[in-house]
Amino acid sequence: MSGFDIFAIVLVLLVIVTLLAGVKTVPQGYDWTIERFGKYTQTLSPGLNLIVPYFDRVGRKINMMEQVIDIPEQEVITKDNATVTVDGVAFYQVFDAAKASYEVSNLNQAITVLTMTNIRSVMGSMDLDQVLSHRDEINERLLRVVDAAVSPWGVKVNRIEIKDIVPPADLVEAMGRQMKAERVKRADILAAEGQRQSEILRAEGAKQGQILQAEGRKEAAFRDAEARERSAEAEAKATQMVSDAIAKGDVAALNYFIADKYIKAFGQLADSPNQKVIMLPVEAMSMLGSLAGIGEIAKATFGESAASAAAAARRGSVPTGSTPPAVPPR
Amino acid sequence: MTDMLVSLGTWNWLIFGFILMALETIAPGVFLFWLGLAALLVGLISFAVAMSWQIQLVMFAIFAAAAVPVWRRLARPKPDASASPFLNKRTEALLGREFTLEKPIIDGSGTVRIGDTVWRVAGPDTPAGTRVKVVQVEGANLTVAAA
């Protein structure tokens, strides 16, 4: 084989190797750093890239997609000395491949450790109750601190989430009992309150009833008194009128009234269904005497004309059934 | 084998060229395509002009090397050729958008809330609550100015 033969073969190999070294296809989602003699010079973005063969070398292939790291479980002592087990996740994305390659030696580990220590410091400054109920606040504080810390590395931490917070078992049990006691207390208070309310309502009802009853009685008494007053007044007036009449007229008028009442009472006696035999005291007959009085009243009332009429009647044949004219009612 | 290669003569280049171009689709890297094209070119030329195989090899090497600058000129990558140009460039998508300052910019650094995360921004000192506009993006660092 001649020298030219070997030269031709080697030349072809050299060209192929050179092309292989110079043409770089970077896949989407990655950035490659280029080092010239070991020193960073540029970053290749996704797509086809050419580098100077033999001088340049691909340094690091950096994942530019958002990535998630599991923050391993660790024990954290809260401000009130409870030991809780905590784990979480962190999401980060590289924005500057060069910084992520050369400013930090192991990016994943750095972020993990940074997050872990910050979880300890954030949660250590809170009480257990706060730790359990303020997860959002913890996440937010962690995010701010860690994000600020990783920024020199060309990285942005987008999110840190505390996954699990597990207090020790005996503490969980105590918390359960506390919650139960709290509920029982509330139930008891509610029941007592209900009873109190109902008793108040009942007493109020009774009171209202008594007041109303008393008011009714009072009203009735007032009305009774008024009635009595009125009737007394009427009696007084009647008596007055009678006495006036007597004063003006004859005493015999009095007799008329008495006789009138007497007869009415007598009539009632007779009307009564179980009283067929009526025993009258002898004095009752004196009532008849009052009839003479009636005649006298009639005389006094109707005066002479009546007397003459009576006389005429006595003389003439006036029917015996005719009664003297009625005394006008008072 | 060698007999066959010798008997095929110039056809070797054409066969080699097409195999290279076919390989390109399996193992993408573009340069195999250019090697294949160079091989085809050598094949066509050797049909017209009789050359020794050494000369043909050297020609192939020269064509392959020359392909790179030619290809670079022809297929200059256009920056916005992608269907989603902001893929993996989240910050660049924020350029020109307006946000409300969550924490004031003091000594050149404050925060805005974008999406459900907090971004630290650089810019002139501004009180919280001001509308700001992203004017410059560099990695994860946003520079803002009052909108």
**Alpha carbon distance A20, A57 (integer Å):** 12
CB A130 within 8 A of CB A76: no
CA dihedral B23, B27, B33, B38 (to 10 degrees): -70
Q: Is A93 on the interface with B (CB under 8 A)?
A: yes
Per-residue pLDDT tens digits for A261-282: 888 887 787 777 765 666 666 5
* Nearest residue to A51 via CA among A29, A20, A78, A76: A20
Average pLDDT over residues B136-144: 87
Residue A63 burial (CB < 10 Å; 0-12/13-18/19+)?
middle
Per-residue pLDDT tens digits for A25-75: 888 999 999 999 999 999 998 888 888 889 999 999 999 999 999 999 999
Residue of A nearest to B103 (CA): A144
* Nearest residue to A106 via CA among A141, A62, A72: A62
CA dist list (Å): A163 to A71, A156, A166: 9, 20, 10
Q: Is B117 on the interface with A (CB under 8 A)?
A: yes
* Rg, chain A, Cα only: 65
- Cβ within 8 Å, pair A96-B140: yes
Assign A245 a pLDDT band (cuts: 50, 70, 90): confident
Q: Is B65 on the interface with A (CB under 8 A)?
A: yes
- Cβ within 8 Å, pair B54-A99: no
Q: Is A8 on the interface with B (CB under 8 A)?
A: yes
Contacts of residue B110, defined as CB under 8 A and 6 or more positions apart, other chains included, come to B101, B102, B103, B104, B120, B121, B123, B126, B128
Q: Shortest Cα distance from B147 to chain A (angstroms)?
A: 24
The DSSP secondary-structure symbol of A212 reads H
Residue A322 has pLDDT above 50, yes or no: no
Sole residue written with tokens 């784990």: A87
**Alpha carbon distance A80, A167 (integer Å):** 12
Average pLDDT over residues B54-83: 79
Closest residue to A22, CB basis, from B55, B68, B116:
B68
The DSSP secondary-structure symbol of B18 reads H
Residue B46 has pLDDT above 90, yes or no: no
The upper half-sphere exposure of residue A320, i.e. CA atoms within 13 Å in the direction of its Cβ, equals 0
Give residue A292's pLDDT: 66
Structure tokens at A214: 């008393």
User: 3-state DSSP call for residue A1?
Assistant: coil
- Cβ within 8 Å, pair A4-B54: yes
- Cβ within 8 Å, pair A11-B87: no
Structure tokens at A44: 């290749």
Set of chain B residues whose Cβ sits within 8 Å of the Cβ of A64 = 88
Average pLDDT over residues A146-154: 92
CA dist list (Å): A290 to A278, A284, A300, A327: 21, 11, 15, 15
Q: Is the ipTM of this complex over 0.85?
A: no
Q: Is B61 on the interface with A (CB under 8 A)?
A: yes
* Residues comprising chain B, all counted: 147
Closest residue to A143, CB basis, from B31, B60, B118:
B118
* Rg, chain B, Cα only: 28
Closest residue to A99, CB basis, from B31, B68, B139:
B139
pTM above 0.90, yes or no: no
Give residue A321's pLDDT: 47
Q: Shortest Cα distance from A156 to chain B (angstroms)?
A: 6
Residue B79 has pLDDT above 50, yes or no: yes
Average pLDDT over residues A208-216: 96
